[in-house]
């Protein structure tokens, strides 16, 4: 069996996109929106529109990846790290923050963090608030829609959707100017390579072929965009056309249902910890995060069995950041494991994931 880490592309959506589809409707994300090649470009553009200055401080969770840090460093910001709880929320009241400092909240794995509380704290103390929704999507049916609380917010569409690229910048603060539409050339070879991967994933999913070992060998080619500087350029035309064809409300409901089903199947399993067993309001889960004693070994075993398990941040961890002073972040980095709950799965896939994990941990 092949259980991919994210939803597979529908051939009908692909053919419709190739023929030309209606224009993408950004309304679920917000009223002031720009589409970029990736989340890094969206964040960099948003920070520049905000008018940040070199040396300005930004509060960042210590459980973080290099892709989130790169735009901050490019703007010359000084990163001040904070710890997180077992439930992936900030473990601090930001007592050392000064007016005009930035606070970055990551909605880990598409699980909505306490954005409203953080926004209220930031407004009361004169802080700027940035929502990192790179793992998430907005839930159109929720009053706690992810990405609606920060002065600005960013999404990385490829983390949740079967698209070759795409990042979204949302500007909620009317005092921040909306950047011009990105310019520059369309993507080069990166998008076609990832499109080929999406098609191969679709075929493997339909036929039950486990291509995960092959993906692991090809990961450097299939990984992050080559434009590490976060160039503010448009995504591929195919991405915009695919976005126009997705039924976002239906997709969101399936992800949420799959999270609840898999979490219920693993509740009480010895050796498997469920730090966030219930979905917070406004969540659109990318994966189900669990904690196990040997996540690297369990992940390898699951992938050999055909389950698209993953570690985060994995190889994208910030190399010069010691987690000794951040026990919450250290626990997640040492024990965290991500299990697939994407919209393409059926009950038999979720049952297979649960049974495979129980076998892998020896429970």
Q: What is the pLDDT of residues 206-244, one digit of tens each?
A: 999 999 999 888 876 655 444 445 556 888 888 888 898
Is the peptide bond between 92 and the residue preceding it cis, with omega within 30 degrees of 0? no
Q: H or E segment at 334? A: helix 327-335
- Residue 226 pLDDT: 45
The answer as to whether 98 is a domain residue is no
β-pair type (33-36, 167-171) = antiparallel
- Residue 225 pLDDT: 45
Structure confidence by residue, pLDDT tens digits, 346-357: 999 999 999 999
Place of tokens 């036929």: 207
For range 156-181, the mean pLDDT: 95
The answer as to whether 276 is a domain residue is yes
The answer as to whether 50 is a domain residue is no
For range 337-345, the mean pLDDT: 98
The answer as to whether 190 is a domain residue is no
Provide the residue range defining the domain that includes 331: 248-361
The answer as to whether 349 is a domain residue is yes
Is the predicted pLDDT of residue 326 greater than 80, yes or no?
Answer: yes
Is the predicted pLDDT of residue 342 greater than 50, yes or no?
Answer: yes
* CA–CA separation, 52 and 74 (whole Å): 11
> Contact at 8 Å (CB) between 72 and 96?
no
**Can you read off the two tokens belonging to residue 363?**
């429970």
For residue 326, what is the domain's CATH number?
3.90.1150.10
Confidence band for 13, pLDDT divided at 50, 70 and 90: confident
For range 37-56, the mean pLDDT: 96
The answer as to whether 42 is a domain residue is no
- Residue 335 pLDDT: 98
DSSP-derived 3-state class of residue 132: strand
Is the predicted pLDDT of residue 311 greater than 50, yes or no?
Answer: yes
β-pair type (287-291, 57-61) = unpaired
pTM: 0.95
> Contact at 8 Å (CB) between 258 and 3?
no
The number of distinct structural domains making up the chain is: 1
The answer as to whether 301 is a domain residue is yes
DSSP-derived 3-state class of residue 293: coil
The answer as to whether 179 is a domain residue is no
Place of tokens 């589409």: 35
For range 40-63, the mean pLDDT: 97
């Amino acid at each position: 069996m092949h259980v991919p880490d994210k939803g597979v592309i529908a051939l009908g959506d692909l053919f419709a996109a190739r023929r030309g589809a209606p224009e993408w409707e950004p309304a679920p994300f917000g009223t002031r929106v720009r589409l970029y090649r990736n989340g890094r470009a969206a964040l960099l553009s948003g920070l520049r529109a905000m008018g940040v200055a070199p040396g300005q401080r930004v509060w960042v969770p210590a459980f973080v990846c290099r892709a989130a840090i790169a735009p901050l460093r490019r703007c010359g910001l000084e990163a001040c790290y904070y710890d997180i709880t077992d439930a992936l929320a900030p473990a601090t009241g930001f007592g050392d923050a000064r007016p005009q400092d930035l606070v970055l909240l990551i909605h880990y794995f598409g699980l909505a963090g306490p954005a409203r509380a953080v926004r209220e704290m930031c407004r009361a103390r004169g802080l700027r608030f940035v929502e990192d929704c790179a793992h998430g999507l907005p839930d159109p049916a929720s009053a706690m829609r992810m990405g609606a609380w920060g002065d600005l917010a960013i999404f990385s569409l490829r983390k949740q959707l079967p698209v070759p690229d795409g990042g979204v910048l949302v500007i909620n603060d009317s005092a921040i100017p909306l950047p011009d539409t990105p310019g520059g050339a369309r993507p080069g070879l990166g998008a076609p390579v990832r499109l080929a991967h999406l098609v191969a994933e679709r075929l493997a999913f339909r036929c039950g072929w486990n291509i995960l070992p092959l993906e692991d060998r090809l990961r450097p080619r299939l990984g992050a965009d080559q434009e590490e500087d976060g160039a503010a350029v448009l995504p591929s035309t195919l991405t915009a056309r695919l976005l126009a064809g997705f039924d976002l409300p239906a997709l969101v409901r399936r992800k949420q249902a799959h999270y609840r089903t898999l979490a219920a199947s693993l509740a009480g399993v010895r050796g498997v910890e469920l730090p966030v067993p219930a979905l917070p309001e406004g969540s659109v889960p990318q994966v189900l995060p669990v904690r196990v004693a040997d996540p690297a070994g369990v992940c390898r075993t699951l992938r050999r069995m055909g389950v698209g398990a993953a570690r985060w941040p994995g190889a994208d961890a910030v190399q010069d950041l010691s987690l000794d002073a951040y026990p919450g972040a250290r626990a997640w980095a040492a024990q965290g494991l991500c299990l697939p709950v994407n919209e393409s799965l059926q009950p038999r896939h979720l049952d297979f994931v649960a049974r495979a994990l129980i076998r892998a941990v020896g429970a």
